[in-house]
Every structure is written in structure tokens, then in C-alpha cells.
């Protein structure tokens, strides 16, 4: 099994990897298929199903689909060009994707939110259609946004979502047990095995430059969030808080009045900065999702700025280790809130952050696996119940607590020798089972929990 570090950490836009980035990616894939077929197209239609319908407006799923059908992609997204394009579509009721003719598309009539039963493959389903001059459908595809910006067609999902058809890699572990056995036999760290796999697929320079870009985007996102105040969009009136927290913490320096636990406020500020940027539709890195995008960067920032001996040269080791753990969770369970609740998003992110931190602090593979297990175990059962379908409440603060748990988990694991009762594999399987048993109300539909028990206006 191989999932690249660049699969787990993808540059994209907020507010949601599964509900914003996924639909945009699906639309781009549909355009590619249209270009490959010999049909004469005249129009486009689409429908959003399941969680994409129930929380699609709050997550900007409709906007993302429209822009995707106009030719936009998450990794090259231009906000100014997007606004201009949306205005043109509103005026002309057409889109003109690169390499295709002008196509009739009136979002109000041609993009439907279907609040009926989920499509069979996943809670995040969408159907895209191309029509001829008479309005008849001549090309159709069903897509599933399965979390973290990953998108699969109906056929791909049926064939096996976790298939890997690339060149062989030297350390193809698909469970934590296999990962630890390979580490013991080879004498390599988890990061070293992951690095060998990445180099086998993409080469050393691609890894070096790609990881540098990932951290740069993460760090830039933190800095923007720590420098920006105001109110987040969406109608809830949620105020940005990261800047105020950071400013207060700086003002308290040198007063000899700061309690040790205020380091938690720094971690929360870093994580909340990212998720406030995400909620505002800014550029973020899925880690492994947008809803959980603040945890891993916050742990790295905490380590760099507050832990003696930390150095940016080790960021690659951190991210490779974190990606190895995230890949195990995705392969064996889920990173999708719509599929398994927030345990699959912030829980996974916290496990990844704990593993990465344990690695750069000198942990053994067994201690790293223990750190990931502790962090994930103490998110089990966490629901996904965003108020008004916005990635704001409880999501923003939840990332801060996920970062704090990650640091605590790494610290606890490093105090031991790596032996522990609950294996990471068992914890991941428990998360999968818990997600399967969880009521749909608590899986990113905004039909239960906080989403219905606090004022919504």
C-alpha cells in the first residue's frame, strides 16, 4: 500500500476538503473525460447528494462545483479570477472551460441539491452530466468525495478504493504491525522507510521541493491567521480569535505571571489561525482534511518556536512520519467526517501530529506508533455536527484541542518504551466500527448535536 505524502498533504482552498475541494476536483475530472470523448456538447447539469446536499451551501459545495465546471482546480485556485468567472456565469448562464465549447449552465436550475437517500457508495456523492443541443444527457458520471480531497468515480470505488497501481515501493506496509516489523528488519525509522517509498515513485528532488512547499503554505496560513481579525463569513457572526490570543500572549511575556499551561494557548492560537483562514475560504493544506487542517501545522509551529533544539531541517521527517500514520488510517478506516464523524478528521490529524512530534523528538518506531494510538484513542466517538454546515463551530476550537492532545500523546509515549495494551491497528479498526455505527445525524449532515441545539441565526 502506498499513499504519498502529497496525497495526505495537498494544497487547496477552504472551507472543506471533501465538500469544497472534492467537488471541484470531480468537476475537473469530468471536463477531462468530456475532452476525451467525441461528442458534441451543448450543456452541463449536476446533482449533489447526501452530506454534499445537506451541508453543501455552508461548505460552498455549489460554488466549488460551478467553478470546477468552469475549469478551476484547488491547487492553482485564483480567488480574484474566480469572482470574475462567477459573475460572468450569473450573467450569461454559460461556462466555457478550456478546450471545450461554450456550454449552457444555469446554476439555479442545473445544479440540484438532492436531499433524498445517499448514493450507495459514500455519504458524499455527486452526479455530473453533459447534454446535447436537445438537452438529452450524452455523458454522465457519478463521483464520490471520500475525504481529504480524494475523489473516486463509481467504478473506481466499486473496484476497490484503496488499490494502488503504481510502481512497487521498497516498504509497502498497510498496517502498523507491518510498519513496525519492516522498521525492525531494516533498521530504518518510519520516516526513512516513507522517504524511500517517495523517492522510488517521484525522485528525491520532487520530495524535497514538495515538502518545502507544503510547510511554506502551512506556515504562511498560520501567519495570515495570526495577523487577521474581523468576522468570518457565513452568517453565524463568529469572530476571529487567533490574532487576539497571540497579541495577548505576547503582551504577557516577561511579566513573570504566566502559568506554564499557557503554552496550550499558543498551540490553540496556531491551530485556530489555520482554521479561521480555512473558514474564510483561504489557501490551506489538507492535513489530512481541511476541517482538521490546523492540527499538524500547529504542532510543528509549537515544536519549532517553543522546543529547544528544533530545526526546520527535520520538518521532512515530521511530515513523512505523519503521512505514514495518516495513510494507515485512510487505508484501514476513513478520514472523512461524512463517513465516520470528526474522529476520522481531527482524530486522525491528532494521531498524525503526535507521531510526527514523537519522531523529531527522537522516538523509536514503537514509541511513535504508541503516540499515534494515544492521540487517536482519545478522539474515538467524536461526532461531526457543524452549526449551519459551516466549518466554524465547533471545528475551529476543536483543532486547537486536537493539537494539544497530539503534544500530550507524544510526550506520554516518549515517557515509555513503546509497549502498550492497545495497538494502533486495533484503535483504527475501532474508529472504523464506531463510524459505521454512528447515526447519520452526527456525520456532517448538521442534523444533530450542536448543529440543532444552539441558536442557528
CA angle at 85 for the pair 81 and 87, rounded to the nearest 5°: 120
Q: What is the mean pLDDT of residues 280-306?
A: 97
CATH fold of 176-453 reads 2-methylcitrate dehydratase PrpD (1.10.4100)
Q: Does 122 have pLDDT greater than 90?
A: yes
3 state SS of 143 = strand
What mean pLDDT, rounded, does the chain reach? 96
| pLDDT for the residue 24 | 97
Quote the CA–CA distance of 109 and 430 in Å, as a whole number. 43
Please tell me the class of the 17-160 domain.
alpha beta
| pLDDT for the residue 164 | 67
Confidence of residue 258 (pLDDT cuts 50, 70, 90): confident
CB-CB contact of 392 with 386 (8 Å): yes
Q: What is the mean pLDDT of residues 78-102?
A: 96
| Residue 95: all three cell numbers together | 461556462
Taking Cα atoms as reference points, which of 218, 283, 279, 281 lies closest to residue 75?
A: 283
Q: What is the mean pLDDT of residues 408-423?
A: 98
**Per-state percent for the chain, helix, strand, coil, to nearest 5:** 55, 10, 35
3 state SS of 127 = strand
**pLDDT tens digits, 48-66:** 999 999 999 999 999 999 9
Separation of first and last alpha carbons in the chain: 46
| pLDDT for the residue 197 | 98
Cβ atoms within 10 Å of 440's Cβ, excluding its own: 15
| pLDDT for the residue 456 | 54
Cβ atoms within 10 Å of 287's Cβ, excluding its own: 33
The percentage of residues in the chain with a pLDDT greater than 90, rounded to a whole number, is: 94
Please, which residues have CB within 8 angstroms of residue 129's CB and are 6 or more apart in sequence? 44, 45, 46, 137, 139, 140
The percentage of residues in the chain with a pLDDT greater than 70, rounded to a whole number, is: 98
3 state SS of 231 = strand
Q: What is the mean pLDDT of residues 78-90?
A: 95
Quote the CA–CA distance of 303 and 202 in Å, as a whole number. 28
Quote the CA–CA distance of 334 and 434 in Å, as a whole number. 11
| Residue 294: all three cell numbers together | 490546523
Q: Does 95 have pLDDT greater than 80?
A: yes
Strands (E), 257-337: 283-285
- For CA atoms 450, 453, 454, 456, the dihedral sign is positive
| pLDDT for the residue 257 | 73
Q: Does 423 have pLDDT greater than 80?
A: yes
The pair phi, psi for residue 286, each rounded to 5°, is: -60, 130
| pLDDT for the residue 430 | 98
Quote the CA–CA distance of 156 and 161 in Å, as a whole number. 6
| Residue 279: all three cell numbers together | 473558514
Strands (E), 37-134: 43-50, 94-95, 103-104, 111-114, 124-131
3 state SS of 139 = strand
**pLDDT tens digits, 152-205:** 999 999 987 555 667 899 999 999 999 999 999 999 999 999 999 999 999 999
**pLDDT tens digits, 366-384:** 999 999 999 999 999 999 9
Quote the CA–CA distance of 99 and 87 in Å, as a whole number. 21
| pLDDT for the residue 450 | 95
Domain ranges of the chain: 17-160, 176-453
Amino acid at each position: 500500500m502506498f499513499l504519498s505524502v502529497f496525497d495526505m498533504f495537498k494544497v487547496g482552498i477552504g472551507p472543506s476538503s471533501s465538500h469544497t475541494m472534492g467537488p471541484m476536483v470531480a468537476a475537473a475530472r469530468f471536463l477531462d473525460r468530456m475532452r476525451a470523448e467525441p461528442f458534441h456538447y451543448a450543456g452541463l447539469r449536476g446533482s449533489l447528494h447526501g452530506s454534499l446536499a445537506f451541508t453543501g451551501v455552508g461548505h460552498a459545495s455549489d460554488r466549488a462545483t460551478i467553478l470546477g465546471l468552469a475549469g478551476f482546480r484547488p491547487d492553482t485556485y485564483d480567488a480574484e479570477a474566480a469572482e470574475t468567472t462567477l459573475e460572468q456565469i450569473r450573467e450569461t448562464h454559460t461556462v466555457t472551460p478550456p478546450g471545450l465549447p461554450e456550454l449552457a449552465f444555469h446554476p439555479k436550475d442545473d445544479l440540484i441539491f438532492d436531499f433524498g437517500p445517499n448514493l450507495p457508495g459514500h455519504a458524499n456523492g455527486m452526479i455530473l452530466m453533459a447534454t446535447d443541443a436537445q438537452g438529452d444527457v450524452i455523458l454522465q458520471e457519478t463521483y464520490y468525495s471520500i475525504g481529504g480531497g480524494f475523489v473516486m468515480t463509481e467504478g473506481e470505488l466499486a473496484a476497490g478504493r484503496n488499490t494502488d497501481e503504481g510502481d512497487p515501493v521498497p516498504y509497502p506496509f498497510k498496517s502498523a504491525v507491518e510498519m513496525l516489523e519492516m522498521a525492525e528488519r531494516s533498521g530504518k525509522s518510519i520516516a526513512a522507510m516513507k522517504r524511500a517509498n517517495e523517492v522510488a515513485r517521484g525522485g528525491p528532488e520532487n520530495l524535497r521541493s514538495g515538502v518545502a512547499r507544503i510547510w511554506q503554505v502551512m506556515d504562511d496560513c498560520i501567519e495570515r491567521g495570526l495577523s487577521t481579525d474581523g468576522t468570518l463569513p457565513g452568517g453565524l457572526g463568529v469572530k476571529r480569535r487567533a490574532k487576539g490570543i497571540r497579541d495577548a500572549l505576547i503582551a504577557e511575556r516577561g511579566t513573570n505571571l504566566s502559568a506554564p499551561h499557557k503554552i496550550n494557548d499558543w498551540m490553540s492560537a496556531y491551530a485556530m489561525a489555520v482554521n479561521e483562514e480555512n473558514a474564510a475560504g483561504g489557501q490551506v493544506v489538507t492535513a489530512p482534511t481541511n476541517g482538521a487542517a490546523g492540527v499538524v501545522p500547529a504542532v510543528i509551529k509549537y515544536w519549532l518556536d517553543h522546543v529547544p533544539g528544533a530545526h526546520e531541517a527535520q520538518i521532512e521527517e515530521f511530515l513523512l512520519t505523519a503521512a505514514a500514520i495518516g495513510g494507515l488510517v485512510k487505508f484501514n478506516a476513513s478520514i472523512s467526517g461524512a463517513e465516520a464523524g470528526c474522529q476520522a478528521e481531527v482524530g486522525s490529524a491528532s494521531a498524525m501530529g503526535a507521531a510526527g512530534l514523537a519522531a523529531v523528538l527522537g522516538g523509536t518506531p514503537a514509541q511513535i506508533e504508541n503516540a499515534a494510538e494515544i492521540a487517536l484513542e482519545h478522539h474515538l466517538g467524536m461526532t461531526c455536527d457543524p452549526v449551519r454546515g459551516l466549518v466554524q463551530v465547533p471545528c475551529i476550537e476543536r483543532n486547537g484541542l486536537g493539537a494539544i492532545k497530539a503534544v500530550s500523546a507524544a510526550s506520554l509515549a516518549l515517557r515509555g518504551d513503546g509497549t502498550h495494551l492497545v495497538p494502533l491497528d486495533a484503535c483504527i479498526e475501532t474508529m472504523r466500527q464506531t463510524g459505521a455505527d454512528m447515526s447519520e445525524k452526527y456525520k456532517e449532515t448538521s442534523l444533530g448535536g450542536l448543529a440543532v441545539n444552539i441558536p442557528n441565526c
